[in-house]
Amino acid sequence: MTRPVTSHDVARLVGVSQPTVSRALRDDPRVAEATRRRVRRAADALGYVPSTRGRSLSTRVTGQVGVVVSELANPFYMETIAHLYDALDRAGYRTVVLTEPPDRPFAPERLLDGALDGAILTTTLLESELPRALAQRGFPLVLLNRRIDALVCDTCVSANAAGAAAIGELLVELGHARVGALFGPADTSTGRDREAGFRQALAAHGVPLSAWRRGPFRFETGYRGLRELLAEAPTAVFCANDVIAVGALNAARACGVAVPRELTIVGFDDIEPASWELLALTTVRQPLPELCATDVELLLTRLGDPARPPRLVELPADPVLRGTHARA
Amino acid sequence: MTRPVTSHDVARLVGVSQPTVSRALRDDPRVAEATRRRVRRAADALGYVPSTRGRSLSTRVTGQVGVVVSELANPFYMETIAHLYDALDRAGYRTVVLTEPPDRPFAPERLLDGALDGAILTTTLLESELPRALAQRGFPLVLLNRRIDALVCDTCVSANAAGAAAIGELLVELGHARVGALFGPADTSTGRDREAGFRQALAAHGVPLSAWRRGPFRFETGYRGLRELLAEAPTAVFCANDVIAVGALNAARACGVAVPRELTIVGFDDIEPASWELLALTTVRQPLPELCATDVELLLTRLGDPARPPRLVELPADPVLRGTHARA
């Protein structure tokens, strides 16, 4: 094990000063072309790699973007991170993952310590003070999938209410009159907007919501919730996301309820397992790759133009019909 | 949007030099206690957050660890990242995710630019030069799940050959005489060792391997591979990981083959969907949380003692019997 090679070693080998080495490796025209060549040759020979830390202190650019999620062990956030990672990587940024446990509010200081050029928040609660606190301090950030009521920063969401309304219309058209729902948390825009859209669609056709529960966007919410709803004998159940729907499908299997012959179950998001033959989940597609690419574009624009007024971008969310729905 | 507050602003407000501010906020005893209090009060009033970048240049500690995976859109690596993240977070380290596409070899320079204290490699190929190149340059690194033949750095793996042999024994005990396999890539230790263990178990009982394919550790390898194997009419198929097995289970459903009545399918890893009622996959459990925690411990020990000889830690991997196996 040897100590890492530094720019001082390169300077010593070439016989120039250390700042000249740094300038030469940045192709700074203040250094003669012949010297730049000698420095590059010496750096190659020694295996010297310029430090991003040294660079970041002089240019205030770390090349790192934070991605804040509430839980990693959730297929939806995992897929989100994968898409954000790809978009950030294409733009030359490193991804630093940060988690925000539901019970421990995220302190702005975790993002403001100088290691990040900006951040993408994916699990913001409606009442969160974090976006405002960060925006006030001039920290570049965008919200993904979630919004807060005041537009204090760039935000990209899908049409949650309209998508949930469309799947509600589908259940009505299929003749379902005993409809249940497993909604998401009311303190999230996704939970609130999907619930509102679904309720409005039923109400518009005079179909009552016979039984419903609210819970976190987790497998257990669907797995436990469906068992409770079964007591009310619904013929169709709307789940506020696919992870809840997967829990509900597994509970139906465990209880010997045949989907879709005895029970229709639909979700929201279109995560990857939704398209497996073993699930064949009818759901609402969130355009996740487009959401993530748009969010990264918003962040890059913000980094280049910090004074631009924040904007909200909404993308469409449409039903995907597979195998878990049937006529009542 | 305002510019961030710097230590110079704090220095100006208190009427001391900038280095005094830095020392005071580190509780350096060379600064009088009264001055330290004044500096802290001023920093609070201005909302000043010390920069980790400034700190990293003086102490050579970034507080960041790189986690290298080959693809993010894979449940196994997603679960691995979640467990590593938790273990690194508990130790006070940030996780920086880096991907290594199979077709683009990972250059040591991506890890050596000074932004990382160390790295965990999860998708190393047997012939990879990366671990040796990094170890020779004194960069702290550990391998997870994968090994290379020379022990040039700390490594933690599960008992891949023994686990695959145990599930091979199970198929033999169940009376399967027409056995197929969908193996992983031969240029990975996991692919090679699981294949070797499985083949040895069959050979020890004189059971021939009637049909087999090799492919990447992906859904498609199982989804396409099973359709090809079906032509050879096996009664049981071993899949080198659960992601392949999930592909195979979905292909069986698509082809109208009843699992386990007509066909036994088993996997390796025990990823989270394996325990869903809808899959109920019989598999071999890799102790992923323990693998990840052990790897982080190895890395922390390495950071504190760079000269320690590298070690290989192997953890047990045992079959988990669920619903996809049956008597021949």
pLDDT of residue B41: 84
Q: Which one of B50, B53, B85 has the shortest CB-CB distance to A72?
A: B85
pLDDT of residue B163: 98
Inter-chain contact B97–A95, Cβ cutoff 8 Å? yes
* CA-angle at A38, arms to A33 and A40, nearest 5°: 95
Closest CA relative to residue B273, chosen from B244, B308, B301, B302: B244
Inter-chain contact B52–A114, Cβ cutoff 8 Å? yes
Rank A32-46, A164-178, B71-85 by mean pLDDT and report only the highest.
Answer: A164-178
Least confident segment among A87-101, A269-283, B206-220 = A87-101
Cα B189 to Cα B253: distance, rounded to the nearest angstrom: 31
- What are the tokens at B169? 């024994």
Q: Which residues of A touch B112 (CB under 8 A)?
A: 4, 49
Residue type, B40: R
- The number of residues in chain B equals 328
The pTM assigned to this predicted structure is 0.81
Inter-chain contact A276–B250, Cβ cutoff 8 Å? yes
pLDDT of residue B51: 57
Residue type, B274: A
Residue B155 has phi, psi (to 5 degrees) of -145, 135
Q: Which residues of A touch B72 (CB under 8 A)?
A: 78, 81-82, 85-86
DSSP designation for B277: T
pLDDT of residue B3: 57
pLDDT top residue among A99 and B137: B137
Residue type, B13: L
Q: Which residues contact B49 (CB under 8 A, 6 or more apart)?
A: A109, A112, A113, A114, B5
Helix (H) or strand (E) holding B192: helix B189-204
Q: Which residues of B touch A75 (CB under 8 A)?
A: 75, 78
Inter-chain contact A53–B57, Cβ cutoff 8 Å? yes
Detail the DSSP E strand segments found in B100-235. Answer: 118-121, 141-144, 154-158, 179-183, 209-214
Please compute the mean of the pLDDT values over residues A296-321 and round it to a whole number. 93
pLDDT top residue among B55 and A273: A273
pLDDT of residue A12: 83
**What is the number of helices (H) and of strands (E) in chain B?**
11, 12
Least confident segment among A48-62, A72-86, A275-289, B135-149 = A48-62
Could you please report the per-residue DSSP string of A63-126? -EEEEEES-SSSHHHHHHHHHHHHHHHHTT-EEEEEE--TTSPPPGGGT-SSS-SEEEESS--T
pLDDT higher than 60, residue A55: no
Q: Which residues of B touch A1 (CB under 8 A)?
A: 135, 138, 306-307
Q: Which one of A3, A53, A86 has the shortest CB-CB distance to B56?
A: A53
To the nearest whole Å, the CA of B131 is away from the closest chain A CA by 13
Tokens 């020990």 appear where? B301
- pLDDT tens, per residue, chain B with 328 residues: 345 677 888 888 888 887 788 778 877 777 888 888 888 888 877 777 665 544 444 344 788 999 998 878 788 988 999 999 999 988 889 888 888 766 677 788 888 888 899 999 998 899 988 999 999 899 999 999 999 988 999 999 999 999 999 999 999 999 999 999 999 999 999 999 999 999 999 999 999 999 999 999 999 999 999 999 999 999 999 999 999 999 999 999 999 999 999 999 999 999 999 999 999 999 999 999 999 999 999 999 999 888 889 999 999 999 999 999 999 9
Inter-chain contact B114–A51, Cβ cutoff 8 Å? yes
Inter-chain contact B249–A2, Cβ cutoff 8 Å? no
* CA-angle at B74, arms to B325 and A143, nearest 5°: 135
Average pLDDT, chain A: 90
Tell which phi-psi region holds residue A138, choosing left (phi > 0), alpha (psi between -120 and 50) or beta: left
Inter-chain contact B81–A72, Cβ cutoff 8 Å? yes
To the nearest whole Å, the CA of A256 is away from the closest chain B CA by 11
Q: Which one of B57, B138, B254 has the shortest CB-CB distance to A3?
A: B138
Helix (H/G/I), strand (E/B), else coil: B199 = helix
